[in-house]
Structure 1
Amino acid sequence: MDNYIKQEKKALVMGGGIAGLLTARVLSEQYDDILVIERDERPEKPEARAGSPQSFHLHQVLPRGEMILERFFPGFSDDLLALGAFPIQEPVQWINRYGTMMMPAQGVFYSRALLEWVLRQRVQALPNVRFLYHQEVTSLETSLDRTRITGVHIRQRGQIERQETLMADLIVVASGRSSKLPQWLTALGYKLPEDERLISAIGYSTRYYKAPEQKKGQVPLIVIENDHTKGSSAGGVLKSIEGDTWAVCLSSIAGQYPSTSAEGFEEGLTRLINPAIAEVLRDAEPLTEPRGFRIPECIRHHYEQMENWPAGLLVLGDAFCYFDPVYGQGMTVAAIEAEALAGCLSEQPGAPQAGFERIALQRMQDAIYPAWWLSTLEDLRWSGVTHSGPEPLKHIAFLHKYFDLSLKRQTQQFEKQQQTGAFNPLFMNYMLMTALIVSPRDVINVHMLNLLLDEVPEERGTILADLFQGYDQQNIEAVLDEVVPAFSFHYDEQAVSSPEEEVLQS
């Protein structure tokens, strides 16, 4: 008789926020026992957590993230609706310097607290996942030669002397941008590669309002973008969430922080490039005072470039890369990273092979690069914003012009649809790119450039001359291929594609 007893595989996740919950869900398919260590107390209802100071503010998962959440948590939108989330039944309003897009939409809007509550309930129901609340990790436990992370040292928050050691086969750091992983690795003798940094001095301020009876259900979303051409860095968003509540956020960049006083917040609404939000709020009752949040810099760690990386350790979420939150990428990127991790695990059933962690880090880094690239490019429009890192960003001026042209044509298409009902779906590629559904290469290519130019044939020569100034205008296809990085990331094939055509120059 075979007396072999299968050894239980254990995993430990630091952090019980969105990234930690997604990680636990993914690991539950491969590990027998998953323990989630969370600094905050066990929540008793949907509410903002002290350990996640940005959770008070407006959040939304982008469409790409919601696709992934639906795969991991089938029917999660129904769970949100059952708890009062806002069902989208009216068009959403998107306003930029070129005009207003009224876009049909479907789905559900919610607060960060409600989403996190629903995901936590799903994860807590998994039989092989446990939670340990009000605990903090103080350091890592390693093998004698420090080449493998074997566990963590924890203590109850507020305690100093009593510590406990927990052992696991895999440790995943998902503890947010305040993670001490860089310090821990340095203390263990590991040399860290240069971080990529975006010094942008981002700030935003959020206030909640009660929707008036006559407007309930009628205003799902208003987005008002800033206007870099006029130096107006203020943007605003109004989103309907549960409880007939409007979450309203003002944002800015380069140190021009929105006010956190009630009077200053209301005045800030009037300084947006369009009065739509201020007009909707005219009869609304404020439920809270404005609360601010400031981010001096965004950081992308490059752990995948380390000469040595300890076995048994992974990192994801904001502890891996902290994005400009204004673009709403954070929770979606955490979902994309979890999806990449799930793919790596499925390729190595049973015990992960040597080098698994480095493969997973590289796969996740590839996955987050498009989002980081897009948000960094957008922030670099502003004076005082700087980028540094192992590799400089290239072709910034060209990309700004190209994306401006894409946004302008997309806006014009929506306005044309309002008048004639006609709409070319290819113009949605720009928005699908910002939603992280299609690659920037689906926007920057010869066929799309033709489409953008065909709308204004009389301006074709002028636009091409300005766009390709300093580039080889006789080989436009090669230029377009050069300006976009070779993203190693799988995108859902949502956008319509057509054969490329040669751009004719006048």
Structure 2
Amino acid sequence: MKALVIGGGIAGLLAARVLTETCDDVVVLERDKLSDVPEPRAGVPQGRHVHGLLVRGGEIMEGLFPGLYDELVQAGAHLMDAGEMRILNPLGWVASTRTGLPLLVVSRPLLETHLRRRLTAKIVDDVHVTGLSFRGSTVDGVLTRNGRVDADLVVDASGRSSKLPSWLAEAGITVPEPDVVDSRTGYATRLYTAPPDFPVVIAESLSAPDTPRGGIVMRIEGDRLMVTAQGAGGDHPSREPEGFQEFLDSLRGPIAEMLTDAEPLTPVYLFARTASRRLAFEQTPGWPGGLVAVGDAVCVFNPVYGQGMTVAAMGALLFRRHQDFSAKGCRDFQRKVAKIAQGAWALSSNADQSWASEHHAPGPLKRAFGWYMKKWQVALTHDQDMFARFVRVVHLVDSPAALMNPVVFRRLAKYSRQDPRRGRRRAGSNPR
């Protein structure tokens, strides 16, 4: 069996890795020209910005590529406990604590380069896929600028810029309109030298409707800091160095102060295509055999939540237990992909609804969810056990259902009687 994977990003590399276990021939077609040196590339427009690899995603990658963590740490990445991140939420510093969950802090270019080096499937770069090839109601390959490439299975892992709906439309197959939630978030990122003893990660989180500005600083390879300023609801940081610094200065926390001795190494880079989008491929009438889609080609998340790479990794594992790629089998596969993304979509899209320009008054369920999460914000600044539970859900180790059980309800009741303003700590202080 020959499998073609469109896209050599994280989703494509992981899908190809799992497919090598069952397919005789696996080929990855990548549009960009690839380098052996870890560097941003055009096909990953967010590649110059902070990427969050959640714990669950890291566990999957380490399982698929044993020793990957050690390789990356040796190359300059950092391994820390996920519960020891320094995070300022709207009510104060969260109650950081050890959780036993290993968190790999790494730049996207370094991670992707090491995955490519370890992959045994063939990677062909500088290939522009322009459409699908059909034999009756089955996809039997792809069309490129240089001709046709045949395959028994085509996997679209081309990410946020996927053209799959239009390719299917050319064959008379109509994909339902996507669900879109646009928080109108914009990023600006700059690299700096890392002062001695600077923490591995420090972050200031956004929260609708009163806290539209935040940021995250991540220590990456080469003894550098990746500093990303984030603004929601259209309140974006500037590309100009002076405006970028003014944005950092406006944050409630100590990020700007902590960067006083850090030297800028790069210009400021912007990214604002952050809308979340979910395509219901599993509900598409006439879905063909021989075709599946994974990763951002199916469900794109606002990057501020760091869910994309991990959901892609979870989707890649489906190839281990799904071998039927008939039309029915491919639709079943897409149902499983949709189910995997469901929990992450609920967490991020519900949080982003309040920023959306077309925001309407929420219904009872969404109002209840918003109220519930406000109570969590209070609890997270006081209760290490509650923070540890929250970390497990955010990192997709546990399902969102873990935030809703009798033990949690009793703990939240304690904080629901407290005035949230009394939970505030002095934001400008540097947490130890």
Q: TM-score, normalised by structure 2?
A: 0.91
Could you tell me how far apart the structure 2 residues matched to 1:85 and 1:450 are?
Answer: 39
Distance in 2 of aligned mates of 1:227 and 1:455: 19
- Distance in 2 of aligned mates of 1:301 and 1:393: 23
What residue ranges of structure 1 are gaps of 5+ in the alignment?
Answer: 1-8, 156-162, 415-424, 464-506
Amino acid at match of 1:189: G
> How far off is 1:353 after superposition?
5.5
Distance 1:394 1:359, change over 3 A: farther
Taking a change above 3 Å as real, the CA distance of residues 209 and 314 of structure 1, as seen in their structure-2 partners, is same
User: Structure 2 counterpart of 1:384, which letter?
Assistant: S
Matched residues in 1 for 2:37 and 2:363: separation?
44
Task: From the superposition, tell whether residues 72 and 174 of structure 1 become closer, same or farther in structure 2 (CA, over 3 Å).
Answer: same
Between the aligned partners of 1:100 and 1:86, the Cα distance in structure 2 is 22
Equivalent AA in structure 2 for residue 29 of structure 1: E
SS in 2 for 1:295: coil
Is the aligned partner of 1:397 residue 2:367? yes
Q: 1:75 is matched with which residue?
A: 67
1:413 aligns with 2:383: yes
Aligned length: 415
The answer to whether structure 1 residue 226 and structure 2 residue 206 are counterparts is: yes
Q: Take 1:223 and 1:153, find their aligned partners in 2: how far apart are those partners?
A: 44
For 1:420, the equivalent position in structure 2 comes to: none
Contact kept? 2:18, 2:320, Cα under 8 Å? yes
Q: Which residue of 2 aligns with 1:318?
A: 296
CA deviations on 1:120-174 (whole Å, 9 max, x unpaired) are 1111xx2xx111110111111101x3x100011112xxxxxxx311111000011
1:196 aligns with 2:179: yes
Quick one: which amino acid aligns to residue 368 of structure 1? A
- CA–CA distance in 2 between the matches of 1:22 and 1:371? 19
1:117 paired to 2:113: yes
Task: Determine which structure has more spread, i.e. the larger CA radius of gyration.
Answer: 1
CA distance in structure 2 between the partners assigned to 1:410 and 1:56 by the alignment: 30
Match of 1:21 in 2: 13
**Is residue 144 of structure 2 the alignment partner of residue 154 of structure 1?**
yes
For the residues of structure 2 that align with 1:314 and 1:394, how far apart are their CA atoms?
36
- 2: CA distance, partners of 1:177 / 1:184: 15
Equivalent residue, structure 2, for 1:466: none
Partner SS state of residue 354, structure 2: coil
**2:290–2:326 Cα contact (<8 Å) kept:** no
Measured after TM superposition, the shift of residue 263 of structure 1 is 0.6
Q: Percent identity?
A: 38
Backbone CA RMSD of aligned residues: 2.2
Tell me how far apart the structure 2 counterparts of residues 54 and 269 of structure 1 sit (CA, whole Å): 20
Residue deviations 1:229-274 (CA, integer Å, cap 9, x gap):
5x23011001101011000101112211111111111111111122
Query: Are 2:226 and 1:247 aligned?
Result: yes
Q: Classify the secondary structure of the residue corresponding to 1:13.
A: strand
Look up the match of 1:210.
193
Matched, 1:140 2:136: no
Map 1:220-299 to 2 at 5 A: 220-228=200-208, 231-274=210-253, 276-295=254-273, 297-299=275-277
SS at match of 1:171: strand
Given that residues 93 and 103 in structure 1 are in contact (C-alpha distance below 8 angstroms), is that contact kept between their aligned partners in structure 2? no
The correspondence of residues 331-350 of structure 1 with structure 2, limited to 5 A, is 331-345=309-323
- Cα gap change, 1:444 to 1:88, in 2 (>3 Å): closer
Query: Cα offset for 1:107?
Result: 4.3
User: Which residue of structure 1 lines up, in the alignment, with residue 279 of structure 2?
Assistant: 301
Distance in 2 separating the partners of 1:68 and 1:306: 29
Structure 1's 296 and 285: CA in aligned 2 closer, same or farther, altered over 3 A? closer
Q: 1:362 and 2:329 equivalent?
A: no
Residue equivalent to 1:431? 391
Does residue 52 of the first structure (1) align with residue 54 of the second (2)?
A: no
Secondary structure of 1:204's counterpart equals strand
Contact kept? 1:200, 1:384, Cα under 8 Å: yes
- Counterpart CA distance in 1 for 2:312 and 2:363 is 23
Structure 1's 427 and 151: CA in aligned 2 closer, same or farther, altered over 3 A?
A: same
Aligned-partner Cα distance in 1 for 2:363–2:77: 40
- For the residue of structure 2 that corresponds to 1:135, the secondary structure is coil
